[in-house]
Each structure stands twice: as structure tokens, then as C-alpha cells.
Amino acid sequence: MSHSISRRDFNKLLVTGVAGASLGIFGTSNNAFAASKRVVVIGGGFGGAAAAKYLKKLDPSISVTLVEPKAAFYTCPFSNWVLGGLKTMDDITQTYTVLKNKYQINVIADAAVSIDPARNAVKLKNGSTLNYDRLVVSPGIDFKYDAVAGYSEAVANSRIPHAYQAGPQTIMLQKQLLAMRNGGRVIICPPGNPFRCPPGPYERASLIAHYLKEKKPQSKILILDAKEKFSKQALFKQGWEKLYPGMIEWRSSVTGGKVVKVDAPTMSVTTEFGVEKGDVINIIPPQKAGKIAFDAGLTDATGWCPINPISFESTIHPGIHVIGDASIAGAMPKSGFAASSQGKVAAAAIVRLLQGKVPAAPSLVNTCYSLIGPSYGISVAGVYKLTAEGIVEIPGSGGLTPLNADADQLSEEASFARGWYNNIIHDTWG
Ligand SMILES: Cc1cc2nc3c(=O)[nH]c(=O)nc-3n(C[C@H](O)[C@H](O)[C@H](O)COP(=O)(O)OP(=O)(O)OC[C@H]3O[C@@H](n4cnc5c(N)ncnc54)[C@H](O)[C@@H]3O)c2cc1C
């Protein structure tokens, strides 16, 4: 998704940073110069936890409060590895202990229910109110359940999981795979763009195939896609042919992939070309920004949040920075790595804005590893800069695993994927 802005607007973006800074200093407190500045962060996932930690690292005098209802955060990265039997739920569980104890972040285990941008206030479910000089919102995604007839949150929680927010949904899908008969059929239905983690559904198909090949080798996987093509397509397809020949079938939106209806009682989906039955069905519905972003009026007609790409400050409500999957970040994919990069950019911008300075134009980065088998990894990387067109990938900056990579290189990529996970977890929650 790319939102272009005129050169005049681009220049204006640079100065709104200064206007925003004055709001942070003079806007909320008569005594704001003397008191320590207060930043509230909503959401303790990849974006929010990184922003909270880096705010404290960059300026320990800032009072940082992180609002997150979950005591333990299950990472979506590596949740497909759980489905493939390569990791456990414990392996993908992160807590806020280090952020609390080492970084002195005030972690509140509650949900934000409303934001009052005029009063710089956040209301929590427990009834209390938090005031802020700057607010960071990183609520991740919500699902457009009604985009697929017959699908709903109730169906997702009882019979046909999306497993696109890691946790109980991952466990449900894993249990269904464990219970499935040898010779069963798994149907995976990825959505159209944009959505969280573009390679995610295809890594999922790969690692489910790994599990089935070992335990239930007569089984098949059918991917019914709402898109014509997908991320790292040639690499995935090559990997499937090498590791799981004849096991995974992918149908694009032009060859009958787009699912228009789900029927949980008969475990079937209807596409434009007919009805398909599955033993296990995984619907990944189209997505939008997390609910609080909608309730606070931070979204536009796309269902995502427009931001000033220098600081990730909302172009709708000054003083509020929206990062991660919920934001419209130009060419950057919706990934944990991207959310973390944006959390750091927002933290650095906020520190400057609170000091009355102009934020520096950021350089942003993303790498997405996917595992096709335990020793078969692939990756795509990109470096992004700010132009009048918004956030664009620097031509030639990226990298993709070559199609002719040998077994050693693919095994090294799998090893780098494990290293990537350990690093980002340490950088964000450790
Ligand atoms: C299967 C799968 C595999 C993936 N693999 C990778 C990968 O290998 N690499 C990668 O980079 N990315 C990967 N991703 C993508 C990555 O998980 C997301 O892009 C990332 O989590 C986005 O970060 P975020 O901060 O925007 O949202 P999240 O990490 O989802 O965090 C949002 C947090 O906000 C909290 N929240 C929501 N509403 C409120 C509220 N009202 N009050 C308080 N808190 C609230 C939620 O509880 C949640 O903890 C994967 C995703 C999936 C689904």
C-alpha cells in the first residue's frame, strides 16, 4: 500500500513535528517544564514494547507507562513453528518482567477502552484515567469477519480458527492437526493485501506439511488464496516441490482460490468455482487496525491509520503516534521487525519532540525469514527511506534468497531465522 504525498505536503510534514513538540510541552500541564514528561504506550506487542523500551533507553527521565491486558505475550513469529512441531507455546511466550524491573516501565495489565485526544487522556477498562504528553498506539490488527459469509468470531473460537493472533487460536489449530486422520485435508485460506505478515500463510502451509509428512503422510494441504500471487512465491513453490512433492496445492484468485463462504457444520468452504471440504480449515480473514484505533478515530477509509512517516505521529490526531500493523507505513510490510523498527523511530522522534526539537528523517529496515523445513530457510530484506512518495524501499537495498541456493545456504538461512528470533525478542522484551 503506498500513499503518495506532494513535495509541499512532504515539507509540511517536517514542520508539523515542531508544532507537535509545542503541544507536548505546553499542551497538558501548567508545570510541564518541571515535571517529567509522560508517555503512555497502548499495546505491548512488537511495536509497543520496542517503543516503551527505547523511550527509556534514550531518555530515562521520561515516565513511560505500557498498557497491555495480557500478562504473557505469545509471539506470532514462530507460531507456525509450533504448528510444525518444532517449537512449543512456552518457547514463544514473552513477559514484561524485564521492562518493569530493569527499565522502570510502569506496566499496567489492562486494556485501554478510549482515548480523548483533546484532553491527552486514556481511559482504562478498570475505570482509571492516564494522562500523557505523548501517546503511542500499537494495537496490532482486528479481523473483518463479515468479509467471508458464514465466518464470525464465534466460528473462529469454536471450529475454524484463524490462528493469526498467537495464543489460544494457535493451540486450537495445533490440536485439530494432532487429531486429524492420516489422509485428511487441511485447507488454508489467506486474505487479499494488505495483511499481517505476507509470507505467514505460506510458511504455515510449509510447516504443517512438515508435520504431516512425518506423522500423517497420506494427507494433503489446499491453499485457497484471495490473491493472484504471494510473497516469496517462487521460493516457496520450489521448496514445496523439493520437500513435500504433491502434498501442497495452491489456487490463486484467478483459478478458484477466493473463498466467499464458510460452512462450519459441514466443514466446507465455497469459492467462485465450487465447494471444497476440509478436515481442518484455517480461514485468515481480511484485516484492519486494532479496535482502539477505530474507536479513537485514528483510522481513515482504508481501515488503517495514516501517519507522518518521520515520527509516526497520526495525521488525524497530533500527539498520538501509531506504529506497527495498525499504521499505514508505505512500502513496509506488516511485520514484527517492521513494527519494532517503527517503535524505535517513534521513540527517537518523541524524545526530540518533547525537547522541542525536530525529529530526524528515519531509515527503516525489515527482514522476514520463513522456514519451509527445519533446515530449509528463505528470507526477504528491505531498507526504506522517506521521500515525497512516503516510505519507499531504497532501490537495490533489499535481498532475497536466490532461487538456485544450495542446501548449505538454505540451512544457514534456517539458522539465521533462529538467530533473528532470539535477537528481536531480546531487543524488545529482554
Ligand atoms: C503466523 C504469523 C507469523 C509471523 N511471523 C513473523 C516473522 O517471522 N517475522 C516478523 O517480523 N513478523 C511476523 N509476523 C507478523 C507480526 O506478528 C506482526 O507484524 C507484529 O506482531 C505487529 O506488531 P504490533 O505491535 O503492530 O502488534 P502486536 O504484536 O499484535 O501487538 C499488539 C498488542 O496490543 C494489545 N492491545 C490491543 N488492543 C489494546 C488495547 N485496547 N489496550 C491495550 N493493549 C491492546 C494486544 O493485546 C497485543 O499484545 C507473523 C504473524 C503471523 C500471524
Distance CA 200, CA 77 (A): 9
Output the CA 35–ligand 1 centroid distance in Å.
Answer: 33
Per-residue confidence (pLDDT) for residue 35, from 0 to 100: 66
Q: Is the pLDDT of residue 348 over 70?
A: yes
Give a three-class secondary structure readout of 253-311: HHHCCCEEEEECCCCEEEECCEEEECCEEEECCCEEECHHHHHCCCCCCCCCECEECCC
Question: Residues of 232-266 as b/e, b for ≥16 C-beta within 10 angstroms?
Answer: beebbebbbeebbeebbebbbbeeebbbeebbbee
Residue whose Cα lies nearest atom 4 of ligand 1: it is: 77
Q: Distance between CA 82 and CA 76 in Å, rounded?
A: 10
Round to whole Å and give the CA distance between 138 and 121: 16
Average pLDDT across the chain, whole number: 93
Contact yes or no for 322/305 (Cβ under 8 A)? yes
* pLDDT beyond 60 at 304: yes
Domains, the chain, in order of start with CATH, read 7-69+110-142+288-360 (3.50.50.60), 149-283 (3.50.50.60)
Q: What Å distances lie between residue 30 and 25, 129, 247, CA to CA?
A: 9, 19, 66
Q: With a cut of 80, say whether residue 13 has pLDDT above it.
A: no
Bridge partners (DSSP) listed for residue 124: 112
Condensed to tens digits (0 to 9), the pLDDT of residues 96-132 reads 999 999 999 999 999 999 999 999 999 999 999 999 9
Percent of the chain with pLDDT over 90: 89
Q: What is the per-residue pLDDT across 174-221, written as a single tens digit (0 to 9) for each?
A: 999 999 999 999 999 999 999 999 999 999 999 999 999 999 999 999
Ligand 1 first shell, C-beta below 6 A: 42-48, 67-70, 73, 76-77, 79-80, 111-112, 138-140, 164, 196-197, 200, 204, 290, 292, 324-326, 334-337, 339, 368-369
The model's pLDDT over 23-80, given as tens digits with 9 standing for 90+, comes to 332 333 333 444 689 999 999 999 999 999 999 999 999 999 999 999 999 999 999 9
Can you give 123-140 as a three-state secondary structure string?
EECCCCEEECCEEEECCC
Using alpha carbons, select from 324, 293, 289, 329 the residue that is nearest to residue 309: 329
Distance, CA 45 to ligand 1 centroid (Å)? 5
Distance 196 CA to ligand 1 centre (A): 8
Closest ligand 1 atom, residue 47 Cα: 25
Q: What CA–CA distance (Å, rounded) separates 143 from 148?
A: 11
Pocket of ligand 1, candidates 196, 320, 366, 428: which has the most ligand atoms within 8 Å of its Cβ, to mutate?
196
List the end-to-end C-alpha distance of the chain, in Å, as a whole number.
32
Distance of alpha carbon 281 from alpha carbon 222, whole angstroms: 10
Tell which residue, 203, 183, 181, 187, has the closest CA to residue 249. Answer: 187
For residue 22, what pLDDT band results from cuts at 50, 70 and 90? very low
Which pLDDT score, from 0 to 100, does residue 300 have?
98
- Smallest CA separation from ligand 1 atom 29, residue: 45
The three-class DSSP label of residue 235 is: helix
